[in-house]
Amino acid sequence: MKTVGRKKYFCIAVLFVVLCAFMAGIGLSAVKAEATVEEKTIRIAHISDMHVMIEEYCNVYSGKYLAETKVTKLLEETPMIAEAVFEDIYNMNENAPMYVFITGDVTSNGEYDNHVWLSKLYKAFTQKMRSRTDYDFSGFQIFLSPGNHDLYNCKAKSFMPTQEELDARADDAEREALLEGYEPRSVASITSKQFMDLYSDFGYCSCPDRKNGHHLASCGMIDGCCLEYFFESDYWYDNSTSRDGTGLEVRTPSDKTLEAFKASDKDYNILNPDARFGACSYIARMNDFDVITFDSNTRGYKYEKWNSEGNAAVRSCRGWHESTGGMVSEDQLRWAVTSVKDDVDANKAVFALGHTNFLPHFDSEDEVISLFTYDNWEQASYTLADNGVRYLFSGHQHASDITSYVTQNGNVAYDIETGSLASYGCSWRTMDLKRTISNGVVTEDFESLTHNLNYAPFEYGVYKLSANVTTPAIRDPYDIIPDEHPNGYMKLEKRVTVDKITGEELGIADYLAAQMYNMASSLEYGLPGEYVGENIYGLLGGLTEKLSSLSFVQGLVSGLVNGLPTIDLCEFSFQGNRYSVSEKPVAGYDLADFTQDLAEYLIQYDFSGDANKELTLAKAFLVVYGGHLSGAHSDVMDEEIAPLIDFLKSGKFVRGLVNLLEDALLPQLEILLDAPIRFDTAT
């Protein structure tokens, strides 16, 4: 019995030891599994479409400057806005982003001097962040990609006369006359190589060992950031080139190439090798993430005699000119996804930057305003998504929105679109990407907030904004200080204050609020109708060109268009929602006047049915436009425009429009049909 007992106890002891070891193993495994959990938050600021124009190029005396710039963009204010946004970022203190993504259109029209000013601003702010002693931002870095306005832009110009031109005038009266009637002068634009040289600290350094993340002391890139360029890859058009190589320079396309491009209905792939398309594309590798930056702005060749022309912008662009649209070429896509494959497999986050929208942000955007999405957006987005690149940053449309796309393989891509600092709202955004990696499984959660300048805060639209204006009665900023100048010119004092408005100083906060309020108000009070009226003949002229292949029809339409300005029409007038049409034609009242009045009537028609709650198309537009720019939620906007939606659903708008066209348009058509139309029968 004792022997049996000993064996029994021995077996129990062995079993106990085994169980203890097993439990210890479980415990060790649990500790080991817990040790593999990695959590990381990447905080990013996204800025786009800064459209900076230095004050030395702005001329607020000039009617041409005001007509071209003061409708949808702040312009002379852009340096002040840029400084204010970076100050806002700095003042976020410990919550400030470690990285800033800037997705192009950083200048008004690619002016070299505007780029120089910006590069200095970026460098100064980078140094300011890295040298902070209150919080650790030693790893702060800006990543930059170009926009369509930034490179090879033949519209680069200054509205301000040169100092020599001003000095040549005899007195202030002559100088003032020069300023008021000054024709914008062409100035040098910038090439891809110059862009890289100026912004070498923000993705384009030339350090010999940059691929391995080693940067010289003179380089402003953060050490450890590995840089790889598209033009150095096997996917470049010909032999890969070095950072300082001549292979980056644009080339003059052959006649055969230009003919093929014209016959292709603008297939930019034909021009891309000569345009050196994608020269500024790069991949930056950080410890926690990669950034793919696409130089994706197409350009055409317009000036065969660029070298002999006196136009500074044309000379600097060597005959090339930016295109509003863009694409991510197949070669760039192959290069990008091949280069980041190992990092994706290693569970690194990968971001992509481009100027144009990677995805449409509303139904039919790619058809209605196709130049705001990439020509090959579907190919680009599903290729990136299926290869682990989910977060795509864009601008271009001057609006703030996030949309998504799911591929057939179930992979998702997000296009994170941010508005313009130069447009109504001055919006920018921050994004937090929270990543948890546990035993090789990655869980991601991102939160993004749209910001407006803290100096001019508002929720959405002109209604909220107007409450922040010190003097709500301000309508036209150029009428505020009549004593300063006959045209009401006001000068920013060191971009800090505007003196003596209503007897007080107006600081940056109220100044920007007033400017944005006026910008929005100009949309409400007649601008759309004025635009239609001023451009109706140009639109009809474009129709004439499109009919050029049909000689008889083209001649008929051309004769009609040329004769229209001389034909008097019946005058359309309105008061509130009521309108009338004169029984007889009115001398000097032509088609431009009629279309402008008709458009303004439709814009100012009150749909509310309540005298105390006016709701016009103009106000509805401001609610939607302002909300879209500043990222307001649709339910907030829906409440404001509900009466308009109800009116449209009831069918009253369509019936009223039919009656309006019958009353207002038929008399004009009779006059036009009775008018003598001359055309050359020989053609």
The one-letter amino acid code at 590 reads: D
187 contact partners, CB below 8 Å, separation of at least 6: 57, 111, 112, 113, 156, 157, 158, 312, 313
Domain identity same for 80 and 123: yes
Q: Is the pLDDT of residue 389 over 50?
A: yes
Residue 546 lies in a domain: yes
Domain of 416?
38-428
Per-residue pLDDT band for 590 (boundaries 50, 70, 90) equals confident
* Tally of structural domains, the chain: 3
* Residue 446 falls inside a structural domain: no
Q: Are residues 358 and 494 in the same domain?
A: no
pLDDT tens column, 517-576? 556 555 555 445 444 544 555 555 554 444 445 454 445 555 555 666 778 888 999 888
Give the residue from 461, 492, 522 where a domain finishes: 522
pLDDT of residue 209: 95
Over the stretch 421-440, which tens digit does the pLDDT of each residue have?
Answer: 988 778 899 999 999 988 88
Pair (547, 593) in one structural domain: yes
* Mean pLDDT (whole number) for 108-125: 96
Tell me what the mean pLDDT of segment 160-177 comes to.
88
130 and 57 co-located in one domain: yes
Give the chain's mean pLDDT: 78
Residue 13, domain member (yes or no): no
What's the whole-number mean pLDDT along residues 117-144?
Answer: 98
* Average pLDDT score over residue span 223-249: 89
Buried b (16+ CB within 10 A) or exposed e, 647-679: beeeeebeeeeeebeeebeebbeeeeeeeebeb
Note whether 479 and 413 are same-domain residues: no
What does the block give as tokens for 376?
Answer: 């090959």
Residues 506 and 569 in one domain: no
Which secondary structure element, helix H or strand E, spans residue 640, and what is its range? Answer: helix 634-650
Which segments within 185-244 are labelled E, that is strand? 185-186, 226-229
Residue 74 above 60 pLDDT? yes
| Residue 161 included in any domain | yes
Q: Do residue 480 and residue 358 come from a single domain?
A: no
Whether 507 and 553 map to the same domain: the answer is no
Q: Who contacts 593 (Cβ-Cβ below 8 Å, separation ≥6)?
A: 533, 569, 571
In the predicted model, what is the mean pLDDT of residues 112-134?
A: 97
Of 392 and 569, the one with more pLDDT: 392
Q: Are residues 609 and 534 in the same domain?
A: yes
Same domain (yes/no): 104, 66? yes
Residue 42 has pLDDT above 60, yes or no: yes
Residues 606 and 500 in one domain: no
Residue 588: left if φ>0, alpha if ψ -120 to 50, beta else—which one? left
Whether 421 and 501 map to the same domain: the answer is no
Q: Is 156 within a domain?
A: yes
Question: Has residue 17 been placed in a domain?
Answer: no
- CATH no. for residue 189? 3.60.21.10
pLDDT at 596 exceeding the cut of 50? yes
11 occurs within a structural domain: no
The secondary element (H helix, E strand) that includes residue 192 is: helix 192-198
pTM across the whole model: 0.74
Domain boundary among 428, 458, 483: 428
Which amino acid appears at position 237 of this protein? Y
Last residue of a domain, one of 400, 428, 456: 428
Q: Which residue has the higher pLDDT, 245 or 371?
A: 371
pLDDT tens for 304-343 read 766 666 688 888 898 899 988 899 999 999 999 999 999 9
Flag whether 583 is in a domain: yes
CA atoms within 13 A on the CB side of 155: 10
Q: Tell me the C-alpha to C-alpha distance, in Å, between residue 252 and each of 204, 298, 372.
A: 25, 16, 27
